[in-house]
Structures are given as structure tokens and as C-alpha cells.
């Protein structure tokens, strides 16, 4: 009796779809290398998304999902077998016909201030970022120290943003440590500082990749991709995304959240979640629009199996405090 065919070896290559940006390609190559290590043949397929071709600010084109829709459509159409996403770019609602077959081990979830360090920030400096989350938290940090920063919306890939700092168009920018590490750029940066999550809480699932496949994937693909899954990362980002989903917030909301797992005595695994929500999150909030109002901070812990429940519970508490 012959052995079943293995995708990527006996039935043609595993086709990996991803955006064409340098970071997306690096992420897809990272996944491809691990599939090759499992004996699979791999082919990369570049896909243009709305977020890549529409140069308006993300707040104008509806940030959530703009980098994912075209890649997801290619999976559903059978043009690729696998989609590789930055998980923070994915909407929290499930996509019909698709499933996240693997969430590999997370990269560094923190943010990096590039061009300055916290100690060198001075009154009136211009920080280039299109992220309300980053702007809200850094402004709160600065105001606690008697500083007023200016935030200027910027767009573009990592190289474009670094060039704005290099050419003096902004004093600093903020980038995800994960992207800088995956591109091999972090250690070569000039003045920079990796920011503690207590200063700047990251976006939900920042640093994590989502490997998505069709529910009707060809035989063997789900089992192969599942071998790349990291349970600890999946538990953490599931809690973070459930927190975001319960808030009904997208990736451009001024919300930072980070969950971490730790082995406790007795062999059980605990999960802690801490979040920061900008006061402008709800237009109906009594303090919405008050730039001086500090963000809401909330934290809690639970057994790792209750991570999703923890996310929902803390989101409910946050909404009560914001209301």
C-alpha cells in the first residue's frame, strides 16, 4: 500500500501568498524556510493589496483588513495554498471559508522609538506615526514629564519611514521591533530605544504571524501547516484579539494590549493581560476629546485555557470605565 501524497513534495509546491513589501516578503520567506525544513517544496506568490496601492492615510481608507483582503481572496480562489499575514493586520472576526492553521512563535512584540531616545525627547519635537495608539500613549508619557509632542501622520514601508528620520522631516518615528528584526535592521539603527510595554503597549497580536488556509484546502495542507503552530503564542494573541473584538475596536483604535504566558508552580500555565485604551476611543465617553485625560489602564490574569474569557472580561471592565 503506497503512502499518502505529501503536499509540497508529491503534489506540487506549497504556494505561499503574501504582500510584496520587503517586510511581507521576509515574513513569507521565514515561513517558507520552516516548511522546507519539513521537506516541502515552496513557491512564493506576491499579491498587491488595497493598503499597498492606495496611498491615503490608513484612517481614511479603513485600516482594518486593507492589507489582508486580496491575499485572502487568492486563498479562497485557489491561487495560493497559504496566506502569511502580520496578525495585527487581520480583522478579529473570522473570515468565511478560511482558518488560521498556525500561529508560529511570536517575535518581539514591543515598539521601537527611532531617531531619539525617551531621555532625549524635548518640547515640540515631531514624531512621525499614523498610529493613534502610539500617539496617544507617547503623548501621555510626554505630558507626565511636562512635554508637548507633535504627531504627524506618515505612511510607507519601513525604509520610507526611516528615511523621513534620516532626512530630518520628523525628529523620530515608531516602528515595530518585530519588523525591524525580521529585516535585520534593528542593530544597525542610529539613535533608538526599544520601549517597555509600560510606556507603549503594543497592538493586539503585534509580532505574531497568522498562517491562513482555506477550509477546503487540498489534503495534507492543514496537517503540514499545523506543525508550525506555537500554543503559547496562540493563547496570548487569542486573548489580545478577544479583548479587541469585545471592544469592537480595529487595528487603528488607540488600544494597546499584551498577553504573556508563564509557568506557575505545580506545572500550570498562567496568562496575564495588560491593556491601555486612549480616552478618545469612545466618542460618547465623558472625557472623549479631552487631550489631557490619561489613558485607561487595565490588567488581569487567568489560567491559559481561559485566555479568551479573560480578554472579554477585561474589555467589559474597560468599557465600563470609559463610559
Measured distance CA(32)–CA(234) in Å, rounded = 20
Cell of 143: 505630558
| Cα–Cα–Cα angle for 305, 91, 228, rounded to 5 degrees | 55
Measured distance CA(276)–CA(253) in Å, rounded = 11
Q: Where are the beta strands (DSSP E) in the chain?
A: 14-19, 42-47, 82-86, 98-102, 111-114, 126-128, 150-152, 172-176, 192-194, 209-214, 255-263, 269-277, 296-303
Measured distance CA(218)–CA(223) in Å, rounded = 10
Nearest to 7 by CA among 231, 213, 234, 230: 213
| Sequence-distant (≥ 6) Cβ neighbours of residue 35 within 8 angstroms | 8, 14, 16, 42, 224, 228
Out of 54, 81, 89, 291, which one is annotated catalytic? 89
- Residue 187 known to be catalytic: no
Answer yes or no: are the C-beta atoms of 180 and 22 closer than 8 Å. no
Measured distance CA(197)–CA(252) in Å, rounded = 18
- Cell 476611543 -> residue: 281
Residues annotated catalytic, as ranges: 89
Amino acid at each position: 500500500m503506497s503512502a499518502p501524497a505529501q503536499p509540497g513534495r508529491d503534489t506540487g509546491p506549497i504556494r505561499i501568498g503574501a504582500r510584496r513589501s520587503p517586510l511581507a516578503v521576509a515574513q513569507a520567506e521565514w515561513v517558507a524556510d520552516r516548511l522546507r525544513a519539513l521537506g516541502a517544496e515552496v513557491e512564493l506568490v506576491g499579491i498587491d493589496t488595497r493598503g499597498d496601492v492606495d496611498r491615503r492615510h490608513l484612517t481614511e481608507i479603513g485600516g482594518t483588513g486593507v492589507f489582508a483582503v486580496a491575499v485572502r481572496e487568492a486563498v479562497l480562489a485557489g491561487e495560493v495554498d497559504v496566506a502569511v499575514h502580520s496578525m495585527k493586520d487581520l480583522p478579529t472576526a473570522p473570515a468565511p471559508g478560511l482558518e488560521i492553521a498556525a500561529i508560529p512563535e511570536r517575535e518581539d512584540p514591543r515598539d521601537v522609538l527611532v531617531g531619539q531616545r525617551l531621555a532625549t525627547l524635548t518640547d515640540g519635537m515631531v514624531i512621525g506615526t499614523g498610529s493613534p495608539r502610539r500617539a496617544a500613549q507617547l503623548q501621555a508619557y510626554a505630558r507626565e514629564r511636562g512635554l508637548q509632542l507633535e504627531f504627524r501622520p506618515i505612511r510607507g514601508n519601513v525604509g520610507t519611514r526611516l528615511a523621513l528620520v534620516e532626512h530630518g522631516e520628523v525628529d523620530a518615528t515608531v516602528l515595530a521591533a518585530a519588523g525591524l528584526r525580521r529585516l535585520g535592521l534593528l542593530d544597525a539603527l542610529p539613535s533608538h530605544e526599544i520601549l517597555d510595554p509600560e510606556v507603549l503597549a503594543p497592538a493586539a497580536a503585534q509580532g505574531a504571524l497568522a498562517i491562513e488556509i482555506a477550509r477546503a484546502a487540498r489534503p495534507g495542507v492543514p496537517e503540514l501547516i499545523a506543525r508550525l503552530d506555537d500554543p503559547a503564542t496562540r493563547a496570548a494573541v487569542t486573548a489580545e484579539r478577544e479583548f479587541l473584538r469585545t471592544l469592537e475596536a480595529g487595528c487603528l483604535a488607540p488600544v494597546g494590549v499584551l498577553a504573556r504566558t508563564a509557568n506557575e508552580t505545580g506545572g500550570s500555565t498562567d496568562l496575564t493581560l495588560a491593556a491601555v485604551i486612549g480616552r478618545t476611543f469612545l466618542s460618547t465617553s465623558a472625557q472623549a476629546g479631552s487631550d489631557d485625560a490619561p489613558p485607561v489602564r487595565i490588567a488581569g490574569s487567568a489560567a491559559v485555557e481561559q485566555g479568551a474569557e479573560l480578554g472579554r472580561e477585561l474589555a467589559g471592565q474597560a468599557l465600563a470605565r470609559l463610559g
